[in-house]
Amino acid sequence: MAERVIPLVDERSSVLAAHVPVQPVAASGTLRDTLRRPLRDLRISVTDRCNFRCSYCMPKEVFDKNYPYLPHASLLSFEEITRLARQFVAHGVQKVRLTGGEPLLRKNIEILIGQLAQLRTAQGQPLDITLTTNGSLLARKARALTDAGLQRVTVSLDGLDDAVFRGMNDVDFPVADVLRGIDAARDAGLWPIKVNMVVKRGTNDHEILPMARHFKGTGIVLRFIEYMDVGATNGWRMDEVLPSADVVQRISAQLPLVPLAHTAPGETAQRWAYADGSGEIGVISSVTQAFCGSCNRARLSTEGQLYLCLFASQGHDLRSLLRGNASDADIASAIGHIWQGRTDRYSELRSTLAPDTGDGKRRVEMSYIGG
Ligand code: SAM
């Protein structure tokens, strides 16, 4: 087995200053990056902490009791997040996803949801607000989230077999409690619900069919995510990636599938319907079929750095602008300028890049930048 290298350098300090450009970039909703990609989707990480230790994301060996999580003063307040979100929306963002770490660990998250729910797009429409969660606190919080204005939710679940799932979350968390959280979300009116399953060959790929059977006919959309080389601590290996094409083939052999058209521009998942009309699944093929060409997502880290790619190694420091004397127009202009200069297309270039050996600029961790 390949030796696992765990880097010890803290890449979070690697930050680019965000400048207010001399030529203002007005927020007109027509922003484009160097590859003509618009800005439509904002993912906001509200905490770098999680109560799971999934080996593909926050392995125990690195994220142990000595790990230097962000101090509270570094975190953006809800008011700061909302102020930034308002500028992103003015530039064309229509959808906001709260993530982390585990977003439901952030105290009073429903207050932030309430604030974001007040924002309106340039067309006067409410934002599409959603949240990605491991489901562990969902049964307790679902009702408060709906009341605050959350519309829907994505729950991560990597298998139905308790031993497999407990092993993957590495904190011995049972499947039944996540399923209870999903039921509570549905009962509270959070809908549609998506379930994300990260597939690791040899670890949980035998759970693909049981998961498909379980959610088929429920209206819940199960999505299979290729195991990705995010961050620098998960010991990623290509031979542990099960290509989405294989996932589709395995399901279709038992439960015939037909392809569906994309519904939203920049959609990450390829959609497939059960031929018998009993619902659909999605596959997210970031490794084997990169979708950088349509990527319209920006990511805001817990401490207010703007990242232009999930695989970026540096962010742009918006918090300094917020906590300095910058006006809303200044901040919008800085965001516009950064987006106009965006060239990122890591997943398309992955195979041509040197492996991340730990001596160059390291990719930021997903728990920090937000999944
Ligand atoms: N804690 C929340 C959760 O569990 O959904 C939100 C954050 S988590 C980083 C967001 C999503 O990223 C989850 O669906 C998780 O399974 C996925 N993810 C994390 N590491 C991944 C990896 N290496 N490859 C593919 N997906 C990954």
CB 245, CB 274: distance < 8 Å: no
Greatest CA separation for the chain: 60
132 in ligand 1 pocket by Cβ < 6 Å? yes
Q: Between helices 175-187 and 138-148, what is the axis angle to 10°?
A: 20
Q: If you measure from the C-alpha of residue 156 to the centroid of ligand 1, how many angstroms do you get, rounded to a whole number? A: 7
225 in ligand 1 pocket by Cβ < 6 Å? yes
Non-local CB neighbours of 96 within 8 Å, separated by 6+ positions: 41, 42, 43, 44, 85, 116, 127, 128, 129, 130
Residue 361 pLDDT? 65
CB 237, CB 229: distance < 8 Å: no
Distance between CA atoms of 295 and 290, rounded to whole angstroms? 10
Show the DSSP H helices in the chain as ranges. 78-90, 109-117, 138-148, 162-169, 175-187, 208-215, 244-254, 318-323, 328-340, 346-349, 366-369
Residue 370 pLDDT? 73
Q: If you measure from the C-alpha of residue 366 to the centroid of ligand 1, how many angstroms do you get, rounded to a whole number? A: 7
Q: Between helices 78-90 and 109-117, what is the axis angle to 10°?
A: 30
Cα–Cα separations (whole angstroms), residue 140 to 4, 110, 182, 195, 369? 38, 13, 11, 18, 26
The Cβ of residue 226 has, within 10 Å, a number of other Cβ atoms equal to 20
| Cα atoms in the Cβ-side hemisphere of radius 13 Å centred on 175 | 16
Ligand 1 atom showing the smallest separation from residue 231 Cα: 23
Closest CA to 317 of 333, 338, 296, 297: 338
Residue 8 pLDDT? 43
Residue to probe by mutation, ligand 1, list 104, 198, 211, 237, most atoms within 8 Å of CB: 198
Distance between CA atoms of 179 and 177, rounded to whole angstroms? 5
What's the token pair of residue 289? 């079929």
For residue 49, the one-letter residue type is R
Q: Is the dihedral of CA 28, 29, 31, 32 positive or negative?
A: negative
Non-local CB neighbours of 307 within 8 Å, separated by 6+ positions: 298, 299, 300, 301, 314, 315, 316, 364, 369
Cα–Cα separations (whole angstroms), residue 236 to 142, 229, 232, 290? 33, 5, 8, 17
**Please, what is the Cα angle at 184 between 178 and 186, to 5 degrees?**
110
Please report which helix (H) or strand (E) contains residue 224, including its range.
strand 221-226
Q: What is the chain's pLDDT, residue by residue, as a tens digit (371 residues)?
A: 444 444 444 555 578 999 999 999 999 988 999 999 999 999 999 999 999 999 999 999 999 999 999 999 999 999 999 999 999 999 999 999 999 999 999 999 999 999 999 999 989 999 999 999 999 999 999 999 999 999 999 999 999 999 999 999 999 999 999 999 999 999 999 999 999 999 999 999 999 999 999 999 999 999 999 999 888 888 899 999 999 999 999 999 999 999 999 878 788 899 999 999 999 999 999 899 888 999 999 999 999 999 999 988 899 999 999 999 899 999 999 999 999 999 988 888 877 776 654 445 677 888 787 77
pTM score of the predicted model: 0.94
Closest CA to 332 of 24, 46, 96, 81: 24
Residue to probe by mutation, ligand 1, list 98, 197, 366, most atoms within 8 Å of CB: 366
Closest CA to 297 of 288, 284, 309, 286: 309
CB 92, CB 122: distance < 8 Å: yes
Residue 154 pLDDT? 98
Q: Is the dihedral of CA 277, 179, 43, 234 positive or negative?
A: negative
208 in ligand 1 pocket by Cβ < 6 Å? no
Distance between CA atoms of 182 and 178, rounded to whole angstroms? 6
Q: If you measure from the C-alpha of residue 334 to the centroid of ligand 1, how many angstroms do you get, rounded to a whole number? A: 29
Instruction: Give the alpha-carbon dihedral of 253, 255, 261, 267, to 10 degrees.
Output: -90
Is omega for the bond preceding 174 within 30 degrees of 0, making it cis? no
